[in-house]
Amino acid sequence: MRFLDIIEKKKNKEVLSDQEIQFFIDGVTDESIPDYQISALLMAIRLNGMDEHETAKLAEAMMHSGDVIDLSDIEGIKSDKHSTGGVGDKTSLALGAMVAACGLKLAKMSGRGLGHTGGTLDKLESIEGFNIALSEEEFKKQVSEIGLAIIGQTGDLVPADKKLYALRDVTGTVDSIPLIASSIMSKKLASGSDTILLDVKYGEGAFMHTVEDAKKLARAMISIGKKLGKNTMAMITDMNQPLGNTIGNALEVKEAIETVKGEGPKDFTELCLTAGEIMLMQANKASNKKEARAMLEEAIKSGKAYEKLEKMVIYQGGNVEQIRNTDLLPQAKYKTDLESKEEGYIENIHSMGLGIAAMKLGAGREKKEDEINYGVGLKMNAKKGDYVKKGHILCRVYHDEPLSDEWIEDFYKTFTYKDQKVDPIPIVEEILD
């Protein structure tokens, strides 16, 4: 088989066979195909697409390019949840504790943040001593015993994806739904869970900017999951403003703790409860949404959800005193309140701009080698649709260095106002299965 023929075939909008896709991924993994030829095929896929079967086969071949975690010796249904990323997205921390308190087993492998979105692992590592590098045996033992573990990727998981992602990043082929879907699902499938819930975000602070594109991506990932025998569902959720009230690692951990105690922001709590309903029904722990929500609300009210979060921190070596007293989490040197210069209804809060602002404080990475400052970030005091007067505090900024005039000017550009009332958008747009 010649790789040039495969490039020609996709260039001419033809469907690749299973054998050709496997040959492609084998060549990526063992480095027998040069980068320039791989890049040519990636561009052909970006321009001409792939059908459902091709995309599923690509995900499956990538999944088997390295280790595949076997969770079958853990009793019960194992669940996983994946977010496509957004500003202020600390969902896994709160949701994991909630569903585990309802008897579900969440075995989750997460990533780090790059750019304007923070990664779950970075948030967890703002807890002193928290170990995200459990061995496969430790990971399985923890899931089995307490029903909840969140770690970084173990071993040699999906090496083909790492190579392809690096090439896509420098060849203008990131924005391809078959390539995005197969990249995400190969990692989820290799992680070994029985059910998968996808939180596909749309809007300015998300990877997919429109509802339509978010739905296309969600349907592509659901199709892959189903073709490979996994119960897969998706939520389409709004990211046209930050999720919850906080952006920044320790601040988001604190908000997740407040949420599992029933004291979290309305939008973030609703997202967690809706996701929890789906996950409990996927795992046959609840027969309908009403029953599932009642279970989740009871887990919060009784304190069981908070206890699960504590247990996960203890099991993974974290300083649990920082969970019991969040004032012990990393703190910034300075706190500065920024007040509204205008009066009116808030029409837009540009998530991307706020995510970048937080990154510039040190809450995120511009380059992979950048170090995270866990204590800095933003705590918002306004949401879309709120009426604010001049002097209303829009945000408290937690920072270690003085705020520059340019930073403050960019911050104010993230808000736009209107004279008429603005109706808030529901956090969950649609649920797809």
Say whether 161 is catalytic: yes
Instruction: Assess whether pLDDT exceeds 60 at residue 114.
Output: no
Say whether 168 is catalytic: yes
Q: In terms of pLDDT, which residue wins out, 129 or 368?
A: 129
H or E segment and range at residue 220: helix 211-227
> Quick one: pLDDT at residue 222?
97
**Is there a contact between 412 and 288 (Cβ–Cβ < 8 Å)?**
no
Q: What is the pLDDT of residues 4-35, one digit of tens each?
A: 999 999 999 999 999 999 999 999 999 999 99
Determine which one of 105, 163, 187, 399 is catalytic: 187
φ, ψ at 410 (rounded to 5°): -65, -35
Model confidence band, residue 116 (pLDDT cutoffs 50, 70, 90)? low
Say whether 82 is catalytic: yes
The residue with tokens 């792939």 is: 50
* Least-confidence region, from 60-74, 93-107, 159-173, 249-263: 159-173
Q: What is the mean pLDDT of residues 399-414?
A: 96
Q: What is the mean pLDDT of residues 314-319?
A: 97
> Quick one: pLDDT at residue 113?
61
What is the percent of the chain with per-residue pLDDT over 70, rounded to a whole number?
98
DSSP-derived letter for residue 364 is S
> Quick one: pLDDT at residue 261?
97
Determine which one of 82, 215, 254, 399 is catalytic: 82
Which stretches of 283-384 are DSSP H helices? 289-301, 304-315, 321-324, 351-361
Say whether 419 is catalytic: no
Determine which one of 81, 105, 140, 168 is catalytic: 168
Model confidence band, residue 393 (pLDDT cutoffs 50, 70, 90)? very high
* Amino acid residing at 271: L
What is the distance between the alpha carbons of residues 123 and 111, in angstroms, rounded to a whole number?
10
> Quick one: pLDDT at residue 86?
81
Model confidence band, residue 162 (pLDDT cutoffs 50, 70, 90)? confident
Strands 377-380 vs 393-399: parallel, antiparallel or unpaired: antiparallel
Determine which one of 122, 161, 194, 267 is catalytic: 161
Three-state SS for 50? coil
> Quick one: pLDDT at residue 329?
97
Other CB atoms closer than 10 Å to residue 60's CB: what's the count?
Answer: 21
Say whether 26 is catalytic: no
DSSP-derived letter for residue 287 is S
**Is there a contact between 284 and 105 (Cβ–Cβ < 8 Å)?**
no
> Quick one: pLDDT at residue 155?
67
What is the percent of the chain with per-residue pLDDT over 90, rounded to a whole number?
82
> Quick one: pLDDT at residue 118?
67
